Amino acid sequence: MDSWTIKHFSQANPEGAGQANVPALLRRVADTIESLGSVEVQDLVMHTEITADGDRPSLTIYFHDAEG
């Protein structure tokens, strides 16, 4: 059986005003993915934490280094 390791990171907007801004979160995540270099994203999972300041979404991105 083949096996390999998947890498991951989670990201959210800063706490406070704008923490629920999903388009801003997507832009932040896109910038982070681009900074990783040549990777292949396998999955994105969105979570929402309920805080005193309102909803605070985050994304967990699962990826591996691109082959070749």
Question: What percentage of the chain has pLDDT greater than the value 90?
Answer: 84
Specify if 32 maps to a domain. Answer: yes
Specify if 44 maps to a domain. Answer: yes
DSSP state of 49: E
Q: What's the confidence (pLDDT) of residue 26?
A: 98
Specify if 20 maps to a domain. Answer: yes
- Helix or strand or coil: residue 19? coil
Specify if 2 maps to a domain. Answer: no
Q: Give the residue ranges of the chain where pLDDT is below 70.
A: 68
pLDDT digits (tens, 9 = 90+) for 3-22: 778 999 999 999 999 999 99
Q: Number of folded domains in the chain?
A: 1
Q: What's the confidence (pLDDT) of residue 7?
A: 96
Q: How many CA atoms lie within 13 A of 34 on its CB side?
A: 6
Distances (CA, A) of 10 to 47, 59, 68: 10, 5, 26
Specify if 1 maps to a domain. Answer: no
Amino acid at 25: L
Question: Which residue segment(s) compose the domain that 47 sits in?
Answer: 7-65
Output the pTM of the full model: 0.86
Q: What's the confidence (pLDDT) of residue 68?
A: 62
The residue assigned the tokens 């997507």 is 26
